[in-house]
Amino acid sequence: MIAGPGCSSVGYGAASELGPLRVSRFAAGLEFNKFAWNKEANLLFLESPVGVGFSYTNTSSDLTSLSDDFVAEDAYNFLVNWFKRFPQYKDREFYISGESYAGHYVPQLADLVYERNKDRKANTYINFKGFIVGNPITDDYYDSKGLAEYAWSHAVVSDELYDQIKKVCDFRASNWTDDCDKAMSTIFRQYHEIDIYNIYAPKCNLAQTSVSSSADEALKYSDHEPFRRRIRMFSGYDECYSSYAQKYFNKADVQIALHANLNGMHPGKWQVCSDSILRSYNFSVVSVLPIYAKLIKAGLRVWLYSGDADGRVPVIGSRYCVEALALPIKTQWQPWYLNQQVAGRFVEYHGMTMVTIRGAGHLVPLNKPAEGLTLIDTFLLGKQLPTHR
């Protein structure tokens, strides 16, 4: 499980979403997660890129070289060495999952594994079968277009602003005009009083954490930094859960138990998201859709799921991305069910499945844990989601 640039997959995925143990309210301790994904598979959480969470590097230049290519190579080397250390897992089926900006990390790592696997006799061979991504950043054009359209269609912004955006924004351009920057900044200001990552959920009213301040920073407009880079940041559904994780992982006894922060190798405060990593990251890949096309053709299992209450990486943009692949439809768009209720919708293509989760925000396993568990179970088994109540 991989998170987004500058953010911890342990702080989010493991401790807040789908791990076997979750940080309890007010960071009082840990509690069992009855919807943990390790009920369906062995889980491995990877802190990526280096520098997030408790991860560190002995090569300081690494922290100024962060990019999608760097992260993919780094993650691949980690996997190869992990399987060498734990060879008992080498023949197991292996899948990669992630959310948000991991919509870039996951397919690019999948592509690297696929290419290096062509030499089946190599001792680096990984029994890789496919990947699944949630509310993923995928393609700059479709994601930006979807963000604006979602804000308008969900009554966050006015008709006038949306009309202005359609006039002044060319989302296919590598650099937006000042007029487009200003119009898009207006969208983000409208989200200030609500949670862009889960637009119908309450917003946490505890004292601001570094997570919430990072989110606020992403909403600001500055002439000194490209707006498109800032709005790519990953924060997540914030009804105080992230502040609990941050408080918990900064406890001295917790860090000792985790063998973290030893000998000063990771100095400073543990953060759910690192502003410094976000600021230094080189965002150079505009689309991973060509990788989708390649790996689908190769026969790998590929799923994309989307919580439909996420305004940051909304379902509209993801639908545009999937439709752009022009895959033949296998099973038409239809509802799927859990506990006799519509849990979302899905469409099966020849080579790929897209799923929505009704009422979930950016972090599906946190917002809709039962639906998330059903989703990953169905994916791993290669089955179809329930189509009857």
Catalytically active residues, by annotation? 100, 310, 362
The conformation of residue 225, written as its DSSP 8-state character, comes to: S
Q: Is 96 helix (H, G, I), strand (E, B) or coil?
A: strand
3-state secondary structure 239-270: CCHHHHHHHHHCCHHHHHHCCCCHHHCCCCCC
CA distance 361 to 364: 6
The encoded tokens of residue 387 equal 């189509």
SS3 at position 110: helix
Strands 21-23 and 329-338: unpaired
Q: How far apart are CA 106 and CA 99, in angstroms?
A: 9
Task: Tell me the three state secondary structure of residue 14.
Answer: helix
Tokens of 201: 């959920």
Structure tokens at 307: 């919580």
Per the structure block, which two tokens stand in for 138?
């995928």
142/122 Cα distance (integer angstroms)? 38
Tell me which residue of 180, 382, 201, 385 sits closest to 301, measured CA to CA.
382
Q: Residues of 11-20 as b/e, b for ≥16 C-beta within 10 angstroms?
A: bbbbbbbbbe
**CB atoms near residue 264 (< 10 Å):** 8
Residue 80 neighbours by CB distance under 10 Å: 16
The pair of three-digit structure tokens given for residue 366, joined into one six-digit string: 């946190």
Task: Kindly state the tokens that stand for 367.
Answer: 């917002």
Beta-bridge mates of residue 23? 30
For residues 135 and 141, the answer to whether their CB atoms sit within 8 Å is no
Nearest Cα residue to 243 out of 14, 3, 26, 17: 26
